[in-house]
Amino acid sequence: MARTRHPSPQTARLLLALAAAPNAWHYGYELSRATGLRSGTLYPILIRLARDGYLETRWLDPDRPGRPPRHVYRLTGTGRELARNALARPSTQPAVAR
Amino acid sequence: MAGHRFDRLAGHLARGLLATLAWWVGRPGREWLEAMRRELPELPGGRAQLRWALGGLRAAPALRRMRARRPELGWGRFVVHTLLGAPRPPEPRLPDPRPEPWPARGAFGLALLAAFLAGGAVAALRGLLEDSPYRFNAGVGAPAGIHPDLANPLSLAWDGVVLASTVELAAVLAAALLFLRLALDPSARRRWRHLRTALVAVATLLWLVLSAAVLWGAIAHLSAPALFDRPPRGEYLTWRSWLAIVLVLTAAALTASGAILRLPGRGAPPRSG
């Protein structure tokens, strides 16, 4: 069952980055750069969001030949709702990303 | 130049670390570590890749708790595959139809074989053989129950290991490291493809001969010193002999690991950049 506690500032920062282009698929490294989160922080959050149904994932074929497929992420409907709620709360307003 | 080499080494370490963690967590968490690994080519430089890979250490424990009850590659099967040099341990099932090779297999094989061989030799000499029931049996080849036709070549190989000069030891280690480096370098696969079978066979043979020679030599020397016609053990097996044994076994483990590592790379996609 999904946890109902309010997202942390790091999660909120990630939700903001994902919600900036809600229909687009995002790469992990791209999200890391957009949010300023290190991989050790970013991926546990991504894993948790995906497990709780806020995030959908898939493997995307590369646009450059010779590269392996990459994992991409996008908010689900409930994920967008979570992002809206989280960003509406002053206590979870993310800091400015790098 | 040194910085460039360190960068490449860091890149290798990053890929190896994530692959090892992916193996460790099992399914279904493996997908996430594989996802992290697929991002590595996008990062600028080996150091950045290593920093990225270190993040996997934070994610791995949670992912391991997600694993299925019966992972398709357990410790027991992995050890058997590694020790026997079996051609292809079961590949992880990924959404990607073209999974990349897993350097972790070679790195793990290296660590495992080095520990096994060095530890086994020391344990055999220190513990088991001190109380060998054949200790006072002076027959040629008798200590290990080996026929003299086999005991003599092993004796020569044992002498070669224990009495090896510094230059010989350095050459053996350098050759082993070169072999492992070639195995770790994906760009070398095309050049070495036609020699792969021969190299794997030689590496396996080297590993078996050296292991057998060292273990048998230790048994034979302690239990039947007359076979060697040498001074007492304390004068014959000096610290340098011990060092030679460990170095040669490590070189054999390096070579065998390289051989094991090369095998899964057959269907690897070409690297760009």
A80 near B CB under 8 A: no
**Mind listing the pLDDT tens digit for each residue in B130-180?**
444 444 444 444 444 555 555 666 666 777 777 777 777 777 777 777 666
Residue B23 has a pLDDT of 80
Contact partners, residue B196, CB within 8 Å, separation at least 6: B262
**Mind listing the pLDDT tens digit for each residue in A24-75?**
999 999 999 999 999 999 999 999 899 889 999 999 888 777 778 899 999 9
Question: Is B269 a residue whose pLDDT tops 50?
Answer: no
Residue of B nearest to A31 (CA): B39
Domains of chain A in sequence order: 9-89 (1.10.10.10)
Closest by CA to B108, choosing from B147, B86, B79, B71, is B79
Which strands make up the sheet holding A55-60, listed edge to edge?
Answer: A26-27, A70-75, A55-60
Q: What is the mean pLDDT of chain B?
A: 65
**Mind listing the pLDDT tens digit for each residue in B225-252?**
555 555 555 566 677 777 777 777 777 7
Closest by CA to B107, choosing from B53, B165, B35, B161, is B53
3-class SS of residue A58: strand
Is the complex ipTM higher than 0.90?
A: no
Beta strand ranges found along B72-210 (DSSP E): none
Residue A15 has a pLDDT of 92
How many angstroms away from the CA of A17 is the closest CA of chain B? 18
Contact (CB<8Å) A67/B95: no
How many angstroms away from the CA of A90 is the closest CA of chain B? 28
How many Cβ atoms are within 10 Å of B127's Cβ, its own excluded? 9
Domain boundaries, chain B: 2-72, 104-266
Q: How far apart are CA B202 and CA B205, in angstroms?
A: 5
B272 near A CB under 8 A: yes
Alpha helices in chain A (DSSP H): 9-20, 28-35, 39-51, 77-88
Site of tokens 């995002």: A26
Site of tokens 């490291």: B177
Higher pLDDT, B129 or A49: A49
Site of tokens 């055999």: B124
